[in-house]
């Protein structure tokens, strides 16, 4: 995910306002996204981890999506500081690679976790009996491991090409100050090949698979009766949550991916640099990117609003933690009361024994 300061167009147009507004608004957007996303995604992970019932296959996929979103919102502030410093990178070369790679990893893994969720819903509704084995928790966990490995594989070009590059400082009077940019250092041909592979593998192919599964899911929902067994109602609720998450993902990320395709078309001279579409892309590229990042905040909200099962699990976890804390408090009070009562009883026994010994002494004297 590149957020370059330099314009991709060579048109004679006054777009300086973009580079004036971006360093101000970008950090604000990033900090808001991170401030909301960190607690929300932590909540999702804690609910899935602490609930007494084992996660279903769908919940395993959604919890891994929450983990990918958490990686994004944890490392986004580094990019916000970078932009607010006038695109001066101060965190060193390794962090330049790590931050850029994790931002890209969020999208790559999220889109394939969505594929797994859609396939799971498709099998649950269209082939509930014949494909039951494929929906077991063991296969879900193995699929998640494969997705994480595949996401890391797609990140190799970013790890290789993204570097902290020394640039001439703005303060030219002080030659001891070194400034760096976190930029792509590979050749334009390599960058174009990387963008093409990224677009095909992480956008076009997933979009085709998700579209196919969504059509079949909607058809299965229409054909199945709305009233029936409890399991069928539960499957429908889970499916509606998945469709809501899918729709949110497309709304948030589709504009950015279309913009990337337009940029590739400009680079290959398929679209004129000064066409209206190219100019619109230049203006909206930052808006589209941070709209995509906002998806990491939107998913947990959808789990709470649309996901009735998730709400039930969340309240059960919260009630369980309250009972545990109140139980510990009651236990401590009970134990202290028991100790106090025991001390009183011991004191009473000691006093009575002393009284008996005194009476015996009097009898002996008499």
Model confidence over 12-55: pLDDT tens digits? 555 555 667 777 888 999 999 999 999 999 999 999 999 888 88
Q: For the residues of 185-226, what is the DSSP string, one character each?
A: -S-HHHHHHHHHHHHIIIIIHHHHHHHHHHHHHHHHHHHS-S
The residue with greater pLDDT, 209 or 268, is 209
CATH domain 16-306 topology: Rhopdopsin 7-helix transmembrane proteins (1.20.1070)
- Between CA 7 and CA 278 the distance in angstroms is 11
Yes or no: say if 105 and 159 are a contact pair by the CB < 8 Å rule: no
Range of weakest confidence among 158-167, 311-320, 347-356: 347-356
CA nearest to 320, candidates 47, 43, 44, 40? 47
- Between CA 135 and CA 127 the distance in angstroms is 11
Can you give the pTM of this predicted structure?
Answer: 0.80
pLDDT tens profile 195-214: 999 999 999 999 999 999 99
- Domain ranges, ordered by start, for the chain: 16-306
């Amino acid at each position: 995910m590149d957020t370059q300061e330099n314009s991709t167009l060579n048109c004679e147009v006054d777009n300086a306002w973009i580079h004036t507004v971006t360093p101000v608004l970008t950090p604000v957007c990033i900090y808001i996204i991170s401030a909301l996303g960190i607690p929300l995604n932590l909540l999702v992970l804690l609910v899935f981890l602490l609930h007494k019932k084992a996660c279903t296959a769908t919940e395993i996929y959604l919890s891994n999506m929450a983990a990918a979103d958490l990686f994004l919102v944890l490392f986004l502030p580094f990019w916000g500081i970078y932009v607010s410093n006038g695109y001066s990178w101060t965190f060193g070369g390794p962090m330049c690679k790590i931050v850029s790679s994790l931002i890209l990893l969020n999208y790559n893994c999220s889109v394939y976790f969505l594929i797994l969720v859609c396939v799971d819903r498709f099998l649950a509704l269209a082939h509930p009996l014949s494909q039951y084995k494929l929906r077991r928790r063991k296969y879900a966990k193995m699929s998640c491991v494969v997705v994480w490995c595949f996401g890391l594989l797609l990140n190799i070009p970013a790890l290789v090409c993204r570097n902290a590059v020394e640039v001439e400082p703005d303060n030219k009077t002080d030659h001891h100050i070194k400034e760096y940019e976190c930029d792509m250092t590979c050749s334009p041909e390599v960058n174009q090949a990387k963008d093409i592979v990224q677009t095909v593998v992480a956008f076009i192919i997933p979009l085709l698979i998700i579209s196919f599964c969504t059509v079949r899911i909607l058809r299965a929902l229409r054909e199945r009766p709305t009233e029936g067994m409890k399991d069928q109602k539960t499957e429908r609720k889970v499916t509606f949550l998945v469709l809501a998450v899918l729709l949110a993902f497309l709304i948030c990320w589709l504009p950015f991916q279309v913009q990337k395709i337009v940029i590739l078309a400009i680079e290959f001279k398929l679209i004129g640099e000064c066409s209206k579409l190219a100019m619109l892309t230049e203006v909206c590229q930052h808006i589209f990117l941070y709209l995509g990042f906002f998806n990491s905040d939107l998913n947990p909200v959808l789990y709470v609003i649309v996901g009735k099962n998730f709400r039930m699990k969340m309240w059960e976890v919260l009630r369980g933690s309250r009972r545990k804390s109140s139980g510990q408090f009651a236990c401590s009070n009970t134990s202290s009361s028991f100790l106090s009562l025991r001390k009183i009883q011991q004191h009473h026994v000691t006093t009575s024994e002393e009284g008996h010994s005194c009476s015996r002494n009097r009898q002996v004297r008499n």
